[in-house]
Chains A and B, each alone.
Chain A
Amino acid sequence: MPSTTTTHEIELVIGKEGGGGGGQLPPVGGNGGGGEDGKKRPNRPISPGRYYTGIAIGIVSVLMFFMALASAFLVRKGGSDWVPVHIPGLLWGNTLILLASSGTLELARKRLTHSDVLGFKRFWLITTILGVAFLIGQVVAWRILVRQGIYLASNPASSFFYIFTGAHGLHLLGGVGALIYVAQRNYDKAKITRTVAAEVTSYYWHFMDALWLFLLALMYMGK
């Protein structure tokens, strides 16, 4: 049990739950607002700011990872042992699938703004299926290359092809996991709302989409 201290002193400590972002200045010259802000609110969704900030910073970090590899690609491709990889035609189809998935993701989010959870779930599921289809397509593209005798260890260009597609695929697999998680989650007791979860996931998904376009352009034009 806490020690007994007179209650009027407690009011001097003005409370606000973490997550406010610290932007605003406190009311100077009073202990105003302490009482109502300080109430306990169990299971209240916390401020979504941290999720948006988190995904933005996470995206920068992932971008840095791929930029390091891309710069290595540019340095390396001048070498005499560089044998360009002919990009399988299937990759263009995969790209279309990924672009379509971004579209369906936005449609799903639009359903959510109309409070149509069922519609949201339907489009969300389509997005997930398209994401998985893209991944399967990438694996098939690998198989095509392997059948042509182009392996990871064949030459620097093929090494880069496999590492770009592999690393991107792994990141996208994380995205698919996030899609499934967002769809399955019970939001009644969660600290995050479905809208916020969907929005944060969509940022990552669109980023993966754009990143793939960049990598494809790099591999296509850089050969």
Chain B
Amino acid sequence: MQFLRQAVRYEAGSGNRGEQTASKMVTYDEGGNASPSTGSGVISRVFSTRHKTIGLQYLWLSLASVLVGMALSTLLRVHTSWPDTAIPFLNGFESTPERYTAVRLLHGSLMVFFVLTAAPQLGFGNFLLPLQIGAGEMAFPTLNCLSLWLTVASLAGMTASFFQPLSRGIDLWLISAAIFSLGALFSALNFCVTIIALRTTGMTLPRMPVTVWAWFVNAILSMLIFSVLLAGCTAILSDRLLGSSFFSTAAFLAHEPQNLVRQGNLPLLWQRLFWYFAQAEVYVAMLPCFGIITHLVATFSRKPVWKERLVVLAICGLGVIGFCVWGYHMFATGMNPYAPLVFSVLASSLGIPATVLLASWLVTLWDARIRFNTSLLFAIGFISLFIAGGLSGIFLARHDLARAALSEDFVIGHFHLVMGVAATFAILAGLFFWFPKLFGCRMNETLGKTHFWLTFSGVYCIFMPMHWMGLLTQSSLLPGAQRTALASAGASVRTLVTVATIWTVGAQLLFVANFFSSLLRRKDVETDNPWGASTLEWSIASPAPPGNFGGQAPVVYRGAYELAGTLAEEFAPQHLAPELLVQKAQ
């Protein structure tokens, strides 16, 4: 086995670690797909078209965004609990409700676009997708580079919009969202084509790792919904800047039944276009996470994914249903009386694929000789948060119950658990798992585990009480005295949430310390495949050499999660020919 790895490494042009670091000097053949930017200048590095560099750049972008986003959420909580406290960062701005909303918008934009959308799909996806399917590069490297820089421009725009006066800020935000959509569309195109056209010999669809499936379904979904967001942004920008009237007049609401429109002239058409995107965006954030978690659970359980095909179907199902449920965000704003029922049924049917995924993870973990390391801990944390957040989603999916649960706190608690924090856990799980492949060293396990437990306890203390507070504010049936008592209890719960937020955000310093100290110390991984994984990215050196497979793409002989037959609890590498596997077993 070891000699095989060496053989592959030889092909990759990096026989030992010393030469990997000097890899700039080696001319790599990228299998006819070599990217044009092979120079060593700063510009060609920054504007690199190599998928691994771009993947890492997305991950750095996400890291910066998540740190700023968390700091903003702390400011918001502190302001909610202790409104009189002077906050240094915000002192320079006028203290208006709009400013508070602007902080929330910036927090949400950073987290949703540049962390949840960027990290699992664009970060890990760009780095690992070609490696996992045995390709030398993404299908369109230059387009990939363009996507990255559109994303960077969008980040700059959204951040700058915060510092602008309200009206101009919104314009800038919309322009940035349109730019992000363009970047996301180009990326999605690249992902789809890479998966369809660049798989190596033997990498048939059923043999693709679940991660690749998730990136694939997600890319198709992104392709469809970011076009709609782009169209929506184009129209609303035209309204705001050129004076057109796609959305702004109330006249078109005249034919809507008055009793269904709660108050005033709601821009329903904009809402529809926006939620068409935004509801599916939840799945865009979550789908790659499902892929990552499935992959990690199987790898660390030393067992094949339970009902792998069903899991792939479930991921496809989530993509399809997620695309269709946009309406259920609009129960409160009024729509055709039959529509809520349709959307309710659709939204509730999301439970079927979600249950399949959950069952697969749990059965795979069941009775397995699990390797409990930080990566798996975060994966199990994800499962826990997914269950907790998913259960509260049932309230929101039922149109008759949604009114009762539709308070700010409840909704915030729900989507942060199931989308925000769960996805972040998946990103962290993936980071701990692929860190050797990304950087050639492991992260510290003790620090990692401490970080996990502090974060895990922290997020439950933040978001679970929020559900309760949310239901409390909606309970109008209680007599006055009881409501007053509950309201005072609510105040202390609010404080608890704020303290827990500070605790959780503080715990992230451990992660930052672990991340950078691991990078600086660079303790080399003892083997190229420290987790005993079967997928192609582990068949080459760690960190992955510039030419990926050194100009000779591997051949795939089996699925991604097949055990090595006689060698129980060890995966058979996808690229190992059957007779070599037998040889290895002997």
Bound: A167/B203 CA distance, A: 40
* CB under 8 Å from chain A, chain B span 268-282: 269, 272-273, 276
Contact B33 A57 (CB under 8 A): no
Q: Which of B100-108, B244-252, B386-394, B449-457 contacts A (4 or more CB under 8 A)?
A: B244-252
In the complex, which residues of chain A have a beta carbon less than 8 angstroms from the beta carbon of B16?
Answer: 3
> How far in angstroms is the closest Cβ of chain B from A112?
23
Bound: A62/B549 CA distance, A: 35
A18 within 8 A of B: yes
Contact B553 A18 (CB under 8 A): yes
In the complex, which residues of chain B have a beta carbon less than 8 angstroms from the beta carbon of A44?
Answer: 32
The residue that B269 contacts in the complex, of A2, A10, A21, A76, with Cβ under 8 A, is A76
Contact A68 B273 (CB under 8 A): yes
Residues on A close to B: CB < 8 A?
1-5, 9-10, 12-26, 28-31, 38, 40-42, 44, 46-47, 49-50, 53-54, 57-58, 60-62, 64-66, 68-69, 72, 75-76, 78-81, 152-153, 155-156, 159-160, 162-163, 167, 191
In the complex, which residues of chain B have a beta carbon less than 8 angstroms from the beta carbon of A16?
Answer: 200-201, 552-553, 555
Contact B19 A61 (CB under 8 A): no
The residue that B244 contacts in the complex, of A24, A53, A69, A152, with Cβ under 8 A, is A152
Bound: A26/B557 CA distance, A: 6
Contact B276 A60 (CB under 8 A): no
In the complex, which residues of chain A have a beta carbon less than 8 angstroms from the beta carbon of B19?
Answer: 1-3
Contact B33 A162 (CB under 8 A): no
Contact B238 A22 (CB under 8 A): no
A-B contacts, 14 listed (Cβ < 8 Å): A2-B14, A2-B15, A3-B10, A9-B4, A12-B580, A18-B198, A18-B200, A20-B198, A49-B196, A50-B140, A53-B139, A53-B192, A57-B188, A68-B273
Bound: A42/B33 CA distance, A: 10
Contact B227 A54 (CB under 8 A): no
Contact A3 B254 (CB under 8 A): no
Bound: A40/B136 CA distance, A: 13
B243 within 8 A of A: yes
B537 within 8 A of A: no
B8 within 8 A of A: yes
Contact A13 B8 (CB under 8 A): yes
Q: Which of B29, B135, B139 has the most CB of A within 10 A?
A: B139
B298 within 8 A of A: no
B202 within 8 A of A: yes
Contact B201 A22 (CB under 8 A): yes
Residues on B close to A: CB < 8 A?
3-4, 6-11, 13-16, 19, 26, 29, 31-33, 130, 133-137, 139-140, 185, 188-189, 192-194, 196-204, 223-224, 226-228, 230-232, 234-235, 238, 242-246, 249, 251-252, 254-255, 269, 272-273, 276, 549, 551-557, 575, 577-580
Bound: A160/B26 CA distance, A: 56
9 residue pairs, one from A and one from B, having the closest CB atoms: A3-B15, A22-B199, A15-B552, A79-B252, A153-B243, A159-B244, A9-B7, A64-B227, A68-B231
In the complex, which residues of chain A have a beta carbon less than 8 angstroms from the beta carbon of B579?
Answer: 29-30
In the complex, which residues of chain B have a beta carbon less than 8 angstroms from the beta carbon of A156?
Answer: 244-246, 249, 252
In the complex, which residues of chain A have a beta carbon less than 8 angstroms from the beta carbon of B137?
Answer: 18
The residue that A72 contacts in the complex, of B189, B194, B235, B575, with Cβ under 8 A, is B235
Given contacts A61-B224, A64-B227, contact A20 B200 (CB under 8 A): yes
Bound: A78/B522 CA distance, A: 65
Contact A22 B133 (CB under 8 A): yes
Q: Which of B32, B226, B272 has the most CB of A within 10 A?
A: B32
CB nearest to A27 among chain B residues: B555
Given contacts A17-B553, A79-B251, contact A69 B235 (CB under 8 A): yes
Q: Which of B16, B238, B251, B555 has the most CB of A within 10 A?
A: B555
Per DSSP, chain A at the interface is: loop
Contact A5 B6 (CB under 8 A): yes
In the complex, which residues of chain B have a beta carbon less than 8 angstroms from the beta carbon of A18?
Answer: 31-33, 130, 134-137, 198, 200, 553
Given A3-B16, A38-B552, A44-B32, 17 further pairs, Cβ under 8 A: A9-B4, A13-B7, A17-B31, A22-B133, A29-B578, A31-B577, A38-B551, A40-B29, A46-B32, A50-B193, A50-B196, A72-B235, A72-B269, A79-B249, A160-B246, A162-B244, A167-B234
Bound: A41/B552 CA distance, A: 11
Contact A159 B246 (CB under 8 A): yes
Bound: A21/B553 CA distance, A: 12
In the complex, which residues of chain A have a beta carbon less than 8 angstroms from the beta carbon of B189?
Answer: 54, 57-58, 61
Q: Which of A9, A152, A191 has the most CB of B within 10 A?
A: A9
Bound: A185/B192 CA distance, A: 26
Bound: A10/B554 CA distance, A: 11
In the complex, which residues of chain B have a beta carbon less than 8 angstroms from the beta carbon of A66?
Answer: 231
Given contacts A14-B554, A26-B202, contact A76 B197 (CB under 8 A): no
In the complex, which residues of chain B have a beta carbon less than 8 angstroms from the beta carbon of A10?
Answer: 7, 10-11
Contact A72 B198 (CB under 8 A): no
> How far in angstroms is the closest Cβ of chain B from A22?
3
> How far in angstroms is the closest Cβ of chain B from A65?
4
> How far in angstroms is the closest Cβ of chain A from B203?
4
CB nearest to B12 among chain A residues: A2
CB nearest to B137 among chain A residues: A18
> How far in angstroms is the closest Cβ of chain A from B5?
10
In the complex, which residues of chain A have a beta carbon less than 8 angstroms from the beta carbon of B13?
Answer: 2
Contact B32 A17 (CB under 8 A): yes
Bound: A162/B245 CA distance, A: 12
In the complex, which residues of chain A have a beta carbon less than 8 angstroms from the beta carbon of B193?
Answer: 50, 53-54, 57
> How far in angstroms is the closest Cβ of chain A from B306?
25
Bound: A79/B252 CA distance, A: 4
Contact A12 B4 (CB under 8 A): yes
Given contacts A13-B8, A191-B32, contact A78 B252 (CB under 8 A): yes
The residue that B201 contacts in the complex, of A24, A50, A68, A72, with Cβ under 8 A, is A24
Contact A28 B557 (CB under 8 A): yes
Given contacts A21-B196, A68-B227, A162-B244, contact A75 B3 (CB under 8 A): no
In the complex, which residues of chain B have a beta carbon less than 8 angstroms from the beta carbon of A30?
Answer: 577, 579
Q: Which of A13, A19, A54, A62 has the most CB of B within 10 A?
A: A13
> How far in angstroms is the closest Cβ of chain A from B463?
33
Bound: A81/B255 CA distance, A: 12
Bound: A40/B16 CA distance, A: 23
Bound: A14/B168 CA distance, A: 58
Contact B11 A163 (CB under 8 A): no
Contact A5 B578 (CB under 8 A): no
Bound: A44/B19 CA distance, A: 29
In the complex, which residues of chain A have a beta carbon less than 8 angstroms from the beta carbon of B254?
Answer: 79-80
Bound: A61/B11 CA distance, A: 39
Bound: A79/B135 CA distance, A: 53
Q: Which of A26, A44, A53, A152 has the most CB of B within 10 A?
A: A26
Given contacts A13-B552, A50-B197, A58-B189, contact A2 B10 (CB under 8 A): yes
Bound: A13/B227 CA distance, A: 42
Bound: A15/B554 CA distance, A: 6
CB nearest to B199 among chain A residues: A22
In the complex, which residues of chain A have a beta carbon less than 8 angstroms from the beta carbon of B140?
Answer: 50, 54
